Amino acid sequence: MEQTKKGQWGSQFGFLMAAVGSAVGLGNLWGFPYKMGKSGGFAFLMIYLVLVIFVGIIITLTELSLGRKSGKGVIGAYGSVSKKYSFLGWFATISPFLILSFYSMLGGYTIKYAIANFGDIFGAGWGVNGVDSGTFFQGFFTDQLQTSLYTAVFVILTVLIVRGGVSGGIEKFSKIAMPALFFMLLAVIVRSVTLPGAGAGLEFMFKPNFEVFKGSGWLSVLAAAGGQMFFSLSLGMGIMVTYGSYVQKKEDLKFNAVVIPFADTLIAVLAGLAVMPAVFATGLDPAGGPGLLFVTLQTVFDSMGAAGPVFGFLLYFLVFIAAITSSISLLETVVAVVVDKKEADNKPYNKKNIVLAVGAVILAEAVFVSMDGLGTHNFPQILGQSTWLDSFDLISEGFLMPLGALITAVLFGWFRKGHLDDEIELNGEFKWKKVYYFCLRFVAPPVMLLVLLGQLDSFFKLGWFN
């Protein structure tokens, strides 16, 4: 088979759209608004922004620089520092591989709901048709054939985009999808904030509540904000390293490392404006996770009358875009590792065929997770979790990602300080180098440790932050 060259971003805008797309995902839409409201409102947002500035930007710049300096996928990138650090690359390869299983399932859910609401616009028989949203959701996720089908469709779409290459597939799609997501989000916001009673949702999100900081509460808020920031920015899962390896040398990584986290935060806040006012206007209790997206919000749309399915379709379609721009980055991260292995062994390869092969494996694990039906089909479970989604989430987001990011901060802050300086300074003076290293050495590690402990506490119900 003919060997193909490693791809490269065609433009800075294309790279930024792809990178922001990788960061903007389901967590922005169902996690951030709820955590913000429950953990201090505007006070939570201020803490979140501080963490974005002093941790998010720092780790993003580190990962982008490592990727571009090495020109390799995540295992090869860490191995280029020293072979003994390759294990960090394995952490960041296993994580996206596992995350893709349940992310594809949830992405399939968004396709189902977009199609169902689209059907209701025209009174089609395959819509929600006034069925109670909780009953509709349970009927769907327990239907193994349906969930497997929609999961497969989502995986196939992801594979087709990644198979198009870095500039011809991922970049081209992201340059269209991300602006579309932004404008659809604005359309939903306009409707959401103008609903009677929407003010309660805005108050839930933005009214400062310092009561949550009393006692040890501040530690819980810090862990929640740190965890949301960390996972929302796709840190520790190899994406920024992989995407960084495709960035042209003429691009300023410092600028990109600032834009990506703030763009992601903006989308997260806008998502809250689209979701929470509508939830409170309908008199429903806010919640986090899939329940907010597939039950609570569907109830909101059901209560809007004829306009409900229109806004329902818009919302679920933009959620689909958020999901697939993240899934293509996850798949590309795994594919890049296989490509690097072929190149290291000096073996001919065709990247499109590698994408198909990796995609086939992802499809198998994703269908398996979808058939678990969120734990309703009595599949044997592991690690004390009730669903395979939770088990894979525990291994990846609960352990490997925060631990890998923690070690990365220590590695480049202490043991390999200065290793990335030449790459960062390639496009101009690094004016905030002292701040960068202070944060990398003394701020990021304790925050990452707190995130790790917070994740373990959440999964195993240890009560450390109660």
**389-413 mean pLDDT:** 92
Reduced to 3 states (helix: H, G, I; strand: E, B; else coil), residue 178 is helix
Residue 3 has pLDDT above 50, yes or no: no
CA 273/CA 14 separation, integer angstroms = 27
CB 366 within 8 A of CB 96: no
CB 280 within 8 A of CB 198: yes
Q: What is the pLDDT of residue 1?
A: 34
User: How wide is the angle at C-alpha 279 spanned by C-alphas 122 and 269, nearest 5°?
Assistant: 105
CB 413 within 8 A of CB 441: yes
Q: Which of 365, 293, 445 is nearest to 104 (CA)?
A: 365
Residue 312, CA distances (Å) to 110, 115, 324 in order: 11, 10, 18
Task: Note the pTM of the prediction, 2 decimals.
Answer: 0.93
Q: What is the pLDDT of residue 126?
A: 79
For residue 80, how many other CB atoms are within 10 A of its CB?
A: 17
CA 112/CA 190 separation, integer angstroms = 25
Residue 22, domain extent: 12-460
pLDDT cut 70: percent of the chain above it? 98
Please indicate, yes or no, if residue 3 is contained in any of the structural domains: no
The tens digit of pLDDT for each residue in 305-345 reads 888 999 999 999 999 999 999 999 999 999 999 999 999 88
CB 213 within 8 A of CB 39: no
Please indicate, yes or no, if residue 6 is contained in any of the structural domains: no
Residue 239, CA distances (Å) to 318, 332, 349, 377 in order: 21, 8, 22, 33
Q: Which of 181, 257, 237, 188 is nearest to 21 (CA)?
A: 181
Please indicate, yes or no, if residue 345 is contained in any of the structural domains: yes
Residue 255 has pLDDT above 90, yes or no: yes
Q: Give the sign of the dihedral formed by CA 74, CA 78, CA 83, CA 87.
A: negative
Q: What is the pLDDT of residue 288?
A: 64
CB 282 within 8 A of CB 300: yes
Helix (H) or strand (E) holding 153: helix 144-163
In eight-state DSSP terms, residue 396 is: I
How many residues belong to the chain? 466
**96-124 mean pLDDT:** 94
Q: Give the sign of the dihedral formed by CA 445, CA 219, CA 211, CA 196.
A: positive
Please indicate, yes or no, if residue 121 is contained in any of the structural domains: yes
Residue 291 has pLDDT above 90, yes or no: no
CA 313/CA 110 separation, integer angstroms = 10
> Using 50, 70 and 90 to split pLDDT, how confident is the model at 459?
confident
For residue 217, how many other CB atoms are within 10 A of its CB?
A: 16
CB 279 within 8 A of CB 300: yes
The tens digit of pLDDT for each residue in 74-95 reads 999 999 999 999 999 999 999 9
Residue 440 has pLDDT above 50, yes or no: yes
The tens digit of pLDDT for each residue in 132-161 reads 999 999 999 999 999 999 999 999 999 999
Q: What is the pLDDT of residue 130?
A: 80
CB 465 within 8 A of CB 219: yes
Please indicate, yes or no, if residue 318 is contained in any of the structural domains: yes
> What DSSP string runs through 196-226?
TTTHHHHHHHHS--GGGGTTTHHHHHHHHHH
CA 270/CA 293 separation, integer angstroms = 15
**428-436 mean pLDDT:** 93
CB 328 within 8 A of CB 162: yes
The tens digit of pLDDT for each residue in 364-398 reads 999 999 999 998 998 999 898 989 999 999 899 88
Please indicate, yes or no, if residue 2 is contained in any of the structural domains: no
Q: What is the pLDDT of residue 231?
A: 85
**294-302 mean pLDDT:** 89
Residue 316, CA distances (Å) to 113, 320, 386 in order: 6, 6, 27
Q: What is the pLDDT of residue 36?
A: 83
CB 327 within 8 A of CB 105: no
Q: What is the pLDDT of residue 15?
A: 95
CA 124/CA 33 separation, integer angstroms = 33
Structure token pair of residue 264: 């992601």
Angle between helices 217-232 and 444-460 (to 10 degrees): 100
Query: What burial letters (b/e) apply to 222-236, b meaning 16+ CB within 10 Å?
Result: bbbbbbbbbbbbbbb
CB 254 within 8 A of CB 424: yes
> Using 50, 70 and 90 to split pLDDT, how confident is the model at 4?
very low
> What DSSP string runs through 210-272?
GGGGTTTHHHHHHHHHHHHHHHHTTTTSSHHHHHHTTS-TTS-HHHHHHHHHHHHHHHHHHHH
Q: What is the pLDDT of residue 345?
A: 87
Please indicate, yes or no, if residue 466 is contained in any of the structural domains: no
**257-267 mean pLDDT:** 95
CATH number at residue 435: 1.10.4160
Residue 425 has pLDDT above 60, yes or no: yes
The tally of domains found in the chain comes to 1
Q: Which of 350, 312, 62 is nearest to 188 (CA)?
A: 312
